[in-house]
Homo-oligomer: A and B are copies of this chain.
């Protein structure tokens, strides 16, 4: 699992700071979280390619999170046979896409499935062969979804010595046991995978949480994630602005991540009011609360190792 930081800005694109968006690659498959005005440019700079982008998850219907979608949809239409695309998001997303397609006569010749999630809906927003994507309602000025992407569990670690003891010769039968199949040894003994595999191992968990005030569902969403991108629009000096505008400070974001025992915290969705040199203050404040915290960096690629 690799996370690609396409931008870390909030509110509007600025010189030197693109809008908040993260792409995640799992075994070659791409998942994109939010796409504001201009997101397709860092997407191209990072050479992510469109062939394996089949899912876009949208947090909420504010311009700085969705105005890049029409461009991404058209870009995806450049390749031959793009295949269907799924877009997750809040109620109103389908209407936004439908209106803009009609008003600008966009030629899109592949199917788009838009799944809108509202307050009482199922928390599993998406499932494919590699991951589940869950969501939680965050607390913002409009209905807003936080996302948690979980890789499927992997089979337990294979014990070759134990297999040999049970009479399994090294070779194709090893592979069958590792893939969870029951086999018969050359001597006619039946061996179950559970006899030679350790406990099931969990996949990697990534959280994308923007925009919100500190709240219970944020902490639940973050629960022990391997990596979490969490909005921190303001410095604690501007906590009143944060409260009024329904955003968080760096301290609040780090507090939620620490409470949830997140492994690695990356702050993003920084207000345009802060210059580049002030990002260090965000990082310092967050690290005083959560030891493995930093401000995400545009163009950064973060590989998440498999847990044991």
Chain A interface residues (CB < 8 Å from chain B): 12-15, 37-38, 40-41, 44-45, 61-63, 66-68, 70-71, 74-75, 92, 95-96, 99-100, 103-106, 142
Residue of B nearest to A95 (CB): B103
User: A99-B103, A103-B92, A103-B95 known; A41 and B13 CB under 8 Å?
Assistant: yes
- The reply to whether A96 and B104 form a contact with Cβ atoms under 8 Å apart is yes
- The reply to whether A63 and B67 form a contact with Cβ atoms under 8 Å apart is no
User: A38-B38, A71-B67, A99-B99 known; A62 and B104 CB under 8 Å?
Assistant: yes
Residue of B nearest to A38 (CB): B38
Taking the closest CB of chain B, its distance from the CB of A272, in whole angstroms, is 9
Taking the closest CB of chain B, its distance from the CB of A230, in whole angstroms, is 23
A106 proximity list for chain B (CB < 8 A)? 63
19 other A-B residue contacts (CB within 8 Å) besides A12-B74, A37-B71, A99-B103: A12-B71, A13-B40, A13-B71, A14-B41, A15-B41, A15-B44, A15-B45, A37-B37, A37-B67, A37-B68, A61-B105, A62-B104, A63-B74, A67-B67, A67-B70, A95-B103, A96-B103, A100-B100, A100-B103
Oligomer: number of copies: 2
Q: With the chains together, A103 CA to B116 CA distance in Å?
A: 14
Residue of B nearest to A41 (CB): B13
Q: With the chains together, A67 CA to B100 CA distance in Å?
A: 10
A99 proximity list for chain B (CB < 8 A)? 99-100, 103
A44 proximity list for chain B (CB < 8 A)? 14-15
A68 proximity list for chain B (CB < 8 A)? 37
Residue of B nearest to A101 (CB): B63
A96 proximity list for chain B (CB < 8 A)? 100, 103-104
Q: With the chains together, A92 CA to B61 CA distance in Å?
A: 23
Taking the closest CB of chain B, its distance from the CB of A274, in whole angstroms, is 15
- The reply to whether B40 and A12 form a contact with Cβ atoms under 8 Å apart is yes
Q: With the chains together, A38 CA to B38 CA distance in Å?
A: 5
Of the A-B pairs whose beta carbons lie under 8 Å apart in the complex, a sample of 12, sorted by A's number, is A12-B75, A13-B38, A13-B40, A15-B41, A37-B38, A38-B38, A62-B104, A67-B67, A67-B70, A92-B103, A95-B103, A100-B103
Residue of B nearest to A106 (CB): B63
Taking the closest CB of chain B, its distance from the CB of A43, in whole angstroms, is 10
Q: With the chains together, A68 CA to B71 CA distance in Å?
A: 11
Q: With the chains together, A220 CA to B108 CA distance in Å?
A: 35
Q: With the chains together, A142 CA to B106 CA distance in Å?
A: 12
Q: With the chains together, A263 CA to B74 CA distance in Å?
A: 37
Taking the closest CB of chain B, its distance from the CB of A171, in whole angstroms, is 49
- The reply to whether A41 and B40 form a contact with Cβ atoms under 8 Å apart is no
- The reply to whether B15 and A105 form a contact with Cβ atoms under 8 Å apart is no
Q: With the chains together, A13 CA to B18 CA distance in Å?
A: 13
